[in-house]
Amino acid sequence: MGLTLDNWNMLSESEKRRVVEFLRKNCRIDREIPSSEEDRPNAYVIQDGFTSGGHRMKFSDQYRIYISDISGIPSFLDLELKERGTKNRIGGTAAIREIMDYGGFGIGRN
């Protein structure tokens, strides 16, 4: 499922700071976009295609966090960690955008 904006908003300020400090210099943020939006900066295009359920692959921007070292990961992030030990990937576009704004992160290495 991924991180949710509601859960991010329920964190205390100290919990939000802990998440941001954990991610600082420890993550890469990617932005995936549908191929129909190729002119968007700081993004890479996911080619058109269909899921196994017959749905289009991408309807809008999708943000992903890839964590380098998961030692001491805050529970807010740990609950949604996928491909643990390999990609250490976290999804949840709306929450990731808020984390980026709160922490001053950009697309790429942070």
pLDDT averaged per 10 residues, the chain (length 110) = 94 98 97 65 58 63 94 97 95 96 95
Check residue 48 and give its pLDDT: 61
Sign of the Cα torsion 47, 78, 3, 9 reads negative
Report d(CA 57, CA 24) in Å as an integer. Answer: 30
pTM of the model: 0.81
Cβ atoms 51, 57 nearer than 8 A? yes
| Domain ranges across the chain | 5-109
